[in-house]
Amino acid sequence: MPGFKGVLSDTEIRAVLAFIKSSWPDRERSLQERQSRIQREAGR
């Protein structure tokens, strides 16, 4: 989204995402962690 370029740093974006994820139920967090691990291992 070019209109928001430079508004948040990468660190701030990660903090916002961590905050959002912290509100997820355990089941969803677990599923997302597994999916992220699979994607990292696949080199994505």
Reported residue count of the chain is: 44
What single DSSP character describes residue 4?
G
3-class SS letters over 16-40: HHHHHHHCCCHHHHHHHHHHHHHHH
Q: Give CA angle at 40 (35, 18), nearest 5°.
A: 65
The band of 38, judged by pLDDT with boundaries at 50, 70 and 90, is very high
Confidence band (pLDDT; 50, 70, 90) for 43?
confident
- Binning pLDDT at 50, 70 and 90, where does residue 1 land? low
11-34, pLDDT tens digit by residue?
A: 999 999 999 999 999 999 999 999
Number of domains in the chain: 1
Query: Domain range holding 23?
Result: 9-41
The answer as to whether 4 is a domain residue is no
pTM over 0.75: no
Residue 3 lies in a domain: no
Question: Is there a domain that residue 32 lies in?
Answer: yes
